[in-house]
Amino acid sequence: MDPKIKAIKEGELAALKRQQEDEHRKDREKKLAKRYHHVRFFERVKIDRSIGKLEKKARAHADGDGPALTSEEQSRLEQLKEDLEASATRPGMMQNLLAVAALTHQQHRMQSLCAHHRRCIASSCST
């Protein structure tokens, strides 16, 4: 076979393989989205409740009834708000993170992945 034709056909083959991998990845994402829809829902509810508790504590301090939020609680509140926004605007990212959490039940790993993605999102938004 002519080397030029062979190179063209190999390029076409590589493009078709990439297309096949993309389709396989999309199918897998759809399958996981269906499987872990309830997990994502409950994670959003947990985030919502945690935000509510911290905001209630902050309102109580503003009214003069309770202690102020610690710096740890303040940073946690900011992280929770970012996670809630991410789950609404970027469901694919949260879906992947929650699938890992559901499969492994490792809360620490989930938090580190969320922190990593927050840093990635922050760096991509600033550029």
Q: Whole-angstrom Cα distance, residue 119 to residue 8?
A: 41
- State yes or no: pLDDT of 16 exceeds 90: yes
Q: Which of 14-18, 24-28, 99-103 has the highest average model confidence (pLDDT)?
A: 14-18
Which residue blocks in 36-106 are alpha helix, DSSP H?
Answer: 37-62, 71-89, 91-104
Mean pLDDT of 33-40: 78
Q: Of 9-13, 48-52, 62-66, 106-110, which gets the smallest average pLDDT? A: 106-110
